[in-house]
Amino acid sequence: MTVLEHRPGPMARVGGRLLRSRLATALATPHGVDSYLTHFNPMWAAHEVRARIESIHRETDTAGAPVATITLRPTSTWRGHRAGQHVLVGADLPGSAKRVTRAFTISSAASVPGETITLTVRSNAEGQLSSYLVERAQPGEILHLGQAQGEFTLDESPATPTNNHLLFITGGSGITPAMSMVRTLLRDGYDGHAGRKVTFVHYARSPEDQIFAEELQQIADADNGVAVHLHHGDLFSEFGLRRIVGDFHDLDTYLCGPAGLVELVTEAYTRDGVLSPKLRMEFFKPAVLRAASTSDEPEGEVTFTRSGASVANDGGTLLEQAEALGLNPESGCRMGICFSCARTKSSGTVRNVLTGEESSLHDEEIRLCVSAAAGDCHIDL
Amino acid sequence: MTTVTEETTYHGLTKEQIEELGTELDAIRQRIIADLGEEDAAYLHKIVKAQRLFEVSGRALFYLPVAGWLPAVACLSISKILDNMEIGHNVMHGQYDWMGDPHLNSRMFDWDTVCPGEQWKYSHNYIHHTFTNIVGKDRDVGYGILRMDPDQKWHPYYLGNPVYAFLLMTFFQWGVALHDLEVENIVSGKRTFADNKPLYPGLMRKIRRQALKDYVIFPALTGPLFPLTFLGNATANLVRNIWSFNIIFCGHFPSGVASFSVEETEDESRGQWYLRQMLGSANISGGKTFHVMSGNLSHQIEHHLFPDLPARRYPEIAPEIRDICERYGLPYNTGSLGKQLWSVAKKICRYALPGGEAEVAPVTGVTDSTLAA
């Protein structure tokens, strides 16, 4: 297998162990071993995970929202991933030089250390990182990665066979985790004739928007027990699903797609007000963008997620609003210079009261004393 | 002839003029913030890379017996100075937080000194930068050790002022580390030992790690050269101590730098805060390398006006700040390192003795001649 060629050799393993030793940590204090290694070769790492872009392959050319598959070679610190997991990817965007970090599902089959992985990303106008990766990034560039995470995974393997019927329902770029799972099953010698059926139901806007069209066709044509149903343009319906798989309610179902699809499918899987425990789903947090407002009146709700408190936005700084709620966040100068009150805003738009600048980035660090909410906001406090 | 006659003035300017001054400075600040980007990031990355290379070279040169020693000490001294000043001080001010790089973020970064960054940020970013030169509030006025202002009550203890200053210079990193324990406030009864308890674990951890690295492991790794490496590391720490002490003491102690009372700074406006920063800081003139090696703290005035702007921008805005000072009749206190140090040394000696005249910044206010300028 070609992947084995990239497994770390004995020298690299000894080197890795040395770099992760207490001695190396003590020598590199307070900056850490990685902050030295990276200056010699960005692909050398002791703890952090980075990856080099090997290639970028355009999947669809949908106007305004093209999709590309990006093949990454992670550093030796990558621990591998299970099918369906996602990874945090960070890049210093050219121009602004700001590090932007987002989660992307890994579209390649489950990996072990030393293997490459792929991300399949849809570019969208609001997503700085996704549009960068799809439209501007070049092979050879280095990205910052986390370790794979997420529990939306296929926890059965050919080694522990069951004969449960497996159903995937996906929409748009939500196809990626399901694709990783199907690829893993097929790669690892999944045998549909052992009695386990796999049904793959996917919704795309049009045949041109269909990601992985060729591969899905091959999977459908092969004698492998995987049934592929592609829907172009039509919406999910309970009736339609029943025609394909019969009573779906008790099937092991993996659902991933846009909010509209998720809503319709959860409705179909809800009986007597109870959602079927067989349905597992995943969707990423959509950006809470502020609706263009004509008035200057403060609006929205400020939620302090750690303390569970929320309050109607009164237009004052987030520090004042937190204090009015009886929360006592650390603070100092109250004029934006000392960074004592820096906190993470998980979502929402804030306005810098000194500059008037608005920002809607997820998981962005803000100074509470000079930030006011512009619409709904979630603060990690 | 000053145009200010009847209205109440604050350090020579009317309220209106001070607010105008604030608006002008805010505009400079916003212009720079809007312009931050790739060049600033590239600059910081370049400095960090240089620092790492100096450090690695310094550590490696100790393996070269005798001939390598001096270059090793030089490299390591430069490494520590860059690390503490142009990188550490500035990154921990949050100047590069906008980049979103976790390694160059004020919440994550720690520097190559025995002072834990976490504790320094409180006394420096908050206390010193908010209450700059307010005697009784800004603990950087004399650092709780020296008498640097006539408003600090004299005591026979201060006869040792020059000696204390010399010791502080020699052991500067330790002085900075212990600064947060506010020993002078414990002596005066304003603080108790119990207040310091939460600080000890972090302080001890940092001291242990730094001492282990510089005085045990790196020397041990050079085997029989242990004593030379040990001595070399100590020398590099000493060079950094002397250099940073001298740069920092020129920031607020040269003659002509004003100090303020708690009363006059109550209910201060943003404009007044700016004015206090301008009157309470002094620059050092010099070349490009000098500015980099001082962490651009040679532009203390610009730094105090905009402590969270990347320091590499200070030289760029300095002419504008100078022009503003001229137009408002404010001093722009600057001079060569020699001149400023001489002035600081005189002050250290003068205030060892009782009395002393309060420093008055030479403010002329907005006059016909400044308007013409």
ipTM metric: 0.90
pTM over 0.90, yes/no: no
- Rounded average pLDDT per 10-residue block, chain B, 373 residues: 51 90 96 94 97 98 95 98 98 94 92 96 94 93 93 95 97 95 89 92 96 98 97 98 97 93 90 95 97 98 97 98 96 96 96 87 77 57
Q: B129 and A354 in contact by Cβ < 8 A?
A: no
Residue A51 makes CB contacts below 8 A (sequence gap 6+) with A72, A73, A74, A75, A78, A117, A142, A143, A145
Per DSSP (E only), the strands in chain A are 49-60, 67-74, 86-92, 99-105, 117-122, 142-145, 166-171, 198-204, 226-232, 252-256, 270-271, 274-275, 279-282, 301-304, 309-312, 342-352, 358-359, 364-367, 371-379
Please tell me if residue B322 touches chain A, with a CB cutoff of 8 Å: no
Q: Can you give the length of chain A in residues?
A: 381
Q: Nearest by CB to A30, which of B33, B112, B308?
A: B112
Please report whether residue B2 resides in a domain. no
Q: Please name the member of A100, A339, A340 whose beta carbon is closest to the beta carbon of B97.
A: A339
User: How would residue A160 be classed by pLDDT, with cut points 50, 70 and 90?
Assistant: low
Q: Which two tokens stand for residue B272?
A: 């007044």
- What is the structure's pLDDT at A191? 64
> Å from B372 to nearest chain A CA?
31
**Between A338 and B174, where is the model more confident?**
B174
pLDDT of residue B328: 94
Looking at residue A9, its pLDDT comes to: 73
Q: Mention every residue, 6+ apart, whose C-beta is less than 8 A from residue A182.
A: A168, A198, A200, A219, A226
Partner-chain residue, chosen from A35, A97, A332, that has the shortest CB–CB distance to B37: A97
Distance CA A147, CA A163 (A): 31
* Cα A177 to Cα A86: distance, rounded to the nearest angstrom: 8
| One-character DSSP codes across A284-328 | PPPP-PPPP-SS-S--SEEEETTTTEEEE--SSBHHHHHHHTT--
Q: Which residue segment(s) compose the domain that B224 sits in?
A: 9-33+113-283+298-307+314-350
Is residue B368 assigned to a domain?
no
Structural domain count, chain B: 1
Coil, strand or helix: which one is B279? Answer: helix
**Of A339, A357, A368, which to mutate for an interface test with B (greatest number of B Cβ within 10 Å)?**
A339
pLDDT at A192: 63
Residue A266 near residue A276, CB atoms below 8 Å: no
Q: If you measure CA to CA, which chain B residue comes closest to A330?
A: B122
Q: Show residues of chain B in contact with A92, CB under 8 Å.
A: 41, 99, 101
d(CA B66, CA B225): 9
DSSP letter, residue A81: B
Residue B106 lies in a domain: no
- Residue B228 belongs to a domain: yes
Sheet hosting strand A252-256, strand order edge to edge? A226-232, A198-204, A166-171, A252-256, A279-282
Tally the residues of chain B: 373
DSSP state, B273?
Answer: H
End-to-end, the C-alpha distance of chain A in Å comes to: 49
> What is residue A292's predicted lDDT score, i.e. its pLDDT?
41
A30 prior amide bond cis, ω within 30: yes
Task: Say if residue A100's pLDDT is above 90.
Answer: no
Nearest to A210 by CA among A372, A12, A66, A84: A66
In terms of pLDDT, which residue wins out, B248 or A333? B248
pLDDT in tens, A82-99: 999 999 999 998 888 888
Are B94 and A26 an interchain contact pair (Cβ–Cβ within 8 Å)?
no
Question: Which residue, A379, A224, A209, A218, is CA-closest to A304?
Answer: A379
Chain A CB within 8 Å of residue B99 CB: yes
Cα(A312)–Cα(B111) distance, rounded to whole angstroms?
41
> Strand, coil or helix: what is A376?
strand
CA-to-CA distance for A77 and B200, rounded, in angstroms? 35
User: Looking at residue A293, what is its pLDDT?
Assistant: 45
Residues A31-48 as b/e (b if ≥16 CB within 10 A, e otherwise) read: bbbbebbbbeebebbbeb
Q: Does B118 touch chain A (CB under 8 A)?
A: no
Is B100 near chain A, with CB under 8 Å?
A: yes
Q: Is B52 on the interface with A (CB under 8 A)?
A: yes
Distance CA B85, CA B292 (A): 8
Distance from CA of B305 to the nearest CA of A (A): 10
Picking from B29, B36, B110, the nearest residue to A30 by CB comes out as B110
Residue from the list B33, B100, B206 with its beta carbon closest to the beta carbon of A100: B100
- Per-residue confidence band for A159, with pLDDT thresholds at 50, 70 and 90: low
- Which domains are assigned to chain A? 2-145 (2.40.30.10), 166-282 (3.40.50.80), 301-379 (3.10.20.30)
Q: If pLDDT is split at 50, 70 and 90, which confidence band does A38 have?
A: very high
pLDDT at A287 over 60: no
Nearest CA to CA, how far is B306 from chain A (Å)? Answer: 8
B90 falls within a domain? no
Single-letter code of the amino acid located at A122: R
DSSP B11: T
Check A365 against B49: CB less than 8 A apart: no
The one-letter amino acid at B26: D
- The residue assigned the tokens 């093209």 is A66
pLDDT recorded at residue A154? 83
Indicate if the pLDDT at residue A2 is higher than 80. Answer: no
Neighbours of A308 (CB within 10 A): 7
Give the pLDDT score at A240: 92
With contacts defined as CB-CB under 8 Å, which chain A residues touch B94?
338-339, 342
- Tell me the pLDDT band of A358, cut-offs 50, 70 and 90: confident
User: What pLDDT sits at residue B354?
Assistant: 95
Overall average pLDDT of the A230-251 stretch: 91
Cα–Cα–Cα angle for A100, A102, A103, rounded to 5 degrees? 160
Residue B173 domain flag: yes
Of B30, B126, B206, the CB nearest to A332: B126
In a domain, B72, yes or no: no
Average pLDDT over residues A202-216: 93
Contact indicator for A353, A335 with CB cutoff of 8 Å: no
Task: Say if strands A364-367 and A301-304 run parallel, antiparallel, or are unpaired.
Answer: unpaired
Nearest alpha carbon to residue A170 among A230, A247, A227, A85: A230
Q: Mind listing the pLDDT tens digit for each residue in A181-190?
A: 999 988 887 7
Using beta carbons and an 8 Å cutoff, which residues of A are at the interface with B? 23, 26-27, 29-32, 35-36, 39, 90, 92, 94-101, 332-333, 335-340, 342, 354-355, 357, 364-365
Q: Which residues of B touch A100 (CB under 8 A)?
A: 100
Domain contains B142: yes
pLDDT at A194: 60
